[in-house]
Structure 1
Amino acid sequence: MGSIPISSIQSKTRKGQQMPLERQGSIQFNRPETWEVEREADTETGSWRLTLQSPGTAFLLLTSLGEEMDARQAAIATLESLKADYPGLEADEVDDFLGGVPAAGYEVQFGYLDDYHTCQIRCFETANEGTVLALWQFSDVDAEEFE
């Protein structure tokens, strides 16, 4: 299948930051230059987690989930996990594409402390990585920059 470009996050930001190429397994995407990258890998299972943190409240989490769940099951499980932490959240189911690959997911909004948060859950299936979770979130503090 080759590498999967996550095109929904592949351009320059509104402030014109450069977007270096980031790769994890067969997945590649551009990230804002000012975001910090943290990688974790489990050598026993072959799974990995990539976390990108903005200077503000926004972050992106990419996690390989293997082949135990399909994309829809993974999206539902992720939403249920968020509901356990944020019982008042609102969510709308979406079918989307990331880099041309079908993705199941949710658009989520919830309040926490004094902020309102927007979260997007997308799960997609790959030949090399199994099911992958992409979750990105930002608060109303950063909404203008990341929406």
Structure 2
Amino acid sequence: MIKTFTRSGVRFQYPTNWTMDLDEADGAWTATFQSPETAFLLVSLRPDAETTVQVAEEALAALKVEYAELEAETAIDNLAGQPAVGHDIDFFTLDTAVVCWTRCIDTLGGPLLVMCQVSEFDRARQEPVLRAVCASLKIDED
């Protein structure tokens, strides 16, 4: 089964067996989605940020605080039919390799950050799910 997340003109589908938590303040919000395994998705609307590049760099800086030896490459991609900037990131935690990617796009409400993360433990099963969630992302243009 599939659930649909909708907020501030942002819409996407995610598995029903994933848990969701929503935090909001001053027009900004962050929704986190956790799979029953290690896959993790964060979607955050940042009306306070000036650019998508700023949000992508802030997300990378926050990850570097937690994982000092991470490796990251700048990524330019398409998400929800528009240009997206972010990073492809690899790091280790608890002796487990983790793959993470961030993408940021503009919305009418401000920059939107999408961050996906999964460990090598269940990457073969969960990365395609994360990719499908990202592919289902739609942004209202009005």
What range describes the TM-score normalised by the shorter chain of this pair? 0.7 to 0.9
Note the C-alpha offset of 1:57: 0.9
Note the C-alpha offset of 1:69: 2.6
Equivalent pairs, count: 127
Note the C-alpha offset of 1:70: 0.4
- Show CA shifts across 1:45-71 (max 9, x none): 111111111001111111111143301
Amino acid at match of 1:40: D
Give TM-score scaled by structure 1 length.
Answer: 0.82
2:92 corresponds in structure 1 to 111
- Answer 1 or 2: which has greater strand percent: 2
Question: Which ranges of 4 or more aligned residues in structure 1 deviate by more than 3 Å?
Answer: none
Q: Percent identity?
A: 33
Q: Which residue of the other structure, out of 77, 81, 105, is the alignment partner of 2:58?
A: 77
Distance 2:82 2:33 in 1: 21
The root-mean-square deviation of aligned C-alpha atoms, in Å, is 1.2
Question: Higher relative contact order at CA 8 Å, sep ≥6: structure 1 or structure 2?
Answer: 2
Note the C-alpha offset of 1:19: 2.4
Give TM-score scaled by structure 2 length.
Answer: 0.84
Unaligned runs of 5+ in 1: 1-17
- Answer 1 or 2: which has greater helix percent: 2
Unaligned runs of 5+ in 2: 128-142
